[in-house]
Amino acid sequence: MLTERQAPRERRQYTRAEQARALAVVLREEFGVGFRFHDAADGSPVPGGEGAAQAPGLAAGRVAEVVAGGRAEVTALAGGTFCLALPLSHAGRPVLVAVGELPAVAPGSERERLRLQKWAQAVAERLRLTDLMFTRSGGGPEGAAAVAPGGQAGTAWEALLTLDHLMRRTRVYKDAAHTARRALEGAFPLIQARTLLWVPGQPDAPPIVVGEACLTPGDCRQLAAGLVGRAPDPADPVFCNDAPRTWGGRFPGVTNLLALPVVDPGPTGWVIALNKGTGDRGTGNRKEIAPPLSSVSCPLAPFRKTDAVLLTPFVALLELHGRAARRYQELKELLVGLTRSLTAALDAKDSYTFGHSERVARIAVELGRELGLPADDLSDIYLAGLLHDVGKIGIRDSVLTKPGPLTREEYEHIKQHVTIGYNILSELHAIRNLLPGVLWHHERWDGKGYPHGLAGEAIPLLPRILAVADGYDAMSTARPYREAVPPRRVEEILAEGAGGQWDARVVQAFQNCRQKIHAIRQRGVGESLCAAIDGALRSATPADLVVTGANHIFVPEDRPTAPPE
């Protein structure tokens, strides 16, 4: 049985919105702008176009004119841009009109308008010919203007929609094997093959099989090695519709194959489709080796160029992920170095708090683990703990290391370290999700904290955790103006402040794991920093920092200050 994710989708008629969403991917790649779509029958808007909000629309009468003309049209707009209108067909009939707006290189230039019109017409014609090719190879449509529910016409639309789904959900922090499996599982229902393979170029990376496991891992690698040099260009697909004769029976489970190299910039692996059939595509992702195909009742068919066309964008997705993963690793290494430099600079500035940020980070992770937070959140907590006091770089040394009580002016100055830290890190968009911890770790549960006087649940969980970790380490460390507070007294102070200065739930988590926290002392920044950076970069949604509330006078537990006037 095929697994649920691998089962062929039931053929159906695709809606205009689904067609528009699929074609929007192609047109954005071609022109670099979003397109709005209209139904060719009545001119009504069709939702689903990517970037449609930025594209102009057309009146129903104008849509009818474009459909009647049967050609792409480009008109100059008053704002120095050009409006592109492309009629798009299926099975020889117009179904949609795509409308986009392209900036002009030379506004008002008739030569440029004609050049764009030729370009747009060439794209429309290419899409029309591709549609006819798939339709003729898979049979006619069921309905005048509907996408064929059977054959490769429906498969072409399905491929575009599947790619759109995969690209929106691909994450560069996922390893290559995870991305390759998702790509193969997306492509498998579209290819009439019994097996789809990903054979990576790295010797220690195992092959990935979707469908029938008709080869052992060792055979997969031998087969991939035998594909090298079989195409005129290293980036071209390899067709072999008579595998037994080509390989002398070395792979009895393989009757024919189509292989596409993944090149980035050199060969990094192969995507291989095996044993194309006209009926049942396989028995699922089985671990056992299937019997030779000759013993299986399944009509065979040769692989064709249309099969390569369907697989090519999935291969391109793997290549894109490889390039993005390298950039991600470079960014991660940059942030690791930056974080270490910032924390080292802070430690050098105030020797009495040497290692404070590292200890706060580790304590906060223990609190988060006790609260049941997932691994990605623990990574955020660790990195935010390291960076929570980075703004003290901007605090005057005379205030930061003063051995006696602070004046009101000095206290107001030292409170600025949270906003200074926020400003230092705010342009690092990859870690914007950490900013609440930097900005609000001195807010109090009762609303008497700073800088914005947030209270209760209005304070995000990250800064609430950091506040307890920061308070514990500050009280447990000797300072120029006082001795370290004994551990038992620290526990009492935290318990007394639960529900007032600190979140009672976080304080309870501290009490539950206090023995582990007491042991977190005198440890340096190690490999955990790399893991934390890796986790923090995975957050795709920046934190929404809503700045509200009034400032309140707040006396930290760990430092004396002059009373307010």
Residue written as tokens 């009495």?
352
Dihedral angle sign, alpha carbons of residues 295, 296, 297, 302: negative
Cβ-based neighbours of 355, under 8 Å, separated by 6 or more: 347, 522, 523, 524
Pick from 29-38, 68-77, 234-243, 472-481: least confident:
472-481
CATH number for the domain spanning 503: value is 1.10.3210.10
Closest CA to 512 of 377, 371, 365: 371
In a domain, 62, yes or no: yes
pLDDT at 50 over 80: no
In this structure, are 292 and 375 located in the same domain?
Answer: no
C-alpha to C-alpha distance for 416 and 234, rounded to whole angstroms:
59
For residues 298 and 279, the answer to whether their CB atoms sit within 8 Å is yes
In this structure, are 101 and 191 located in the same domain?
Answer: no
DSSP output for 151-173: HHHHHHHHHHHHHHHHHHH--TT
The residue type at 379: S
pLDDT, tens only, 57-66: 788 899 999 9
In this structure, are 181 and 124 located in the same domain?
Answer: no
In a domain, 334, yes or no: no
In this structure, are 359 and 290 located in the same domain?
Answer: no
- Token code pair at residue 90: 């299926």
Look at the pTM and tell me if it is higher than 0.85. no
In a domain, 430, yes or no: yes
In this structure, are 264 and 361 located in the same domain?
Answer: no
What's residue 3's pLDDT? 36
Mean pLDDT of 247-276: 86
C-alpha to C-alpha distance for 244 and 240, rounded to whole angstroms:
10
CATH number for the domain spanning 230: value is 3.30.450.40
What's residue 141's pLDDT? 34
- Which residues sit opposite 198 in a β-bridge? 208, 271
Q: Which residue has the higher pLDDT, 146 or 169?
A: 169
Cα 511 to chain centroid distance, Å, stands at: 37
What's residue 521's pLDDT? 59
In this structure, are 185 and 317 located in the same domain?
Answer: yes
pLDDT, tens only, 449-460: 999 999 999 999
In this structure, are 179 and 135 located in the same domain?
Answer: no
Pick from 61-70, 105-114, 135-144, 210-219: least confident:
135-144
Cβ-based neighbours of 119, under 8 Å, separated by 6 or more: none
Domain that holds residue 495: 350-536
Closest CA to 443 of 420, 476, 467, 408: 467
DSSP state of 207: P
**Coil, helix or strand at residue 304:** coil
Closest CA to 524 of 350, 354, 337, 338: 354
Helix axis angle, 356-370 relative to 375-387, nearest 10°? 160
In this structure, are 82 and 175 located in the same domain?
Answer: no
Pick from 19-28, 437-446, 495-504: least confident:
19-28
In this structure, are 26 and 138 located in the same domain?
Answer: yes
C-alpha to C-alpha distance for 162 and 237, rounded to whole angstroms:
21
Cβ-based neighbours of 55, under 8 Å, separated by 6 or more: 33, 34, 35, 36, 49, 99, 100, 101
CATH number for the domain spanning 59: value is 3.30.450
How many domains would you assign to the chain? 3
Element (H, E) at 199: strand 193-200
Element (H, E) at 98: strand 93-103
C-alpha to C-alpha distance for 367 and 338, rounded to whole angstroms:
25
Phi-psi label, residue 366: left if phi above 0, alpha if psi -120 to 50, beta otherwise = alpha
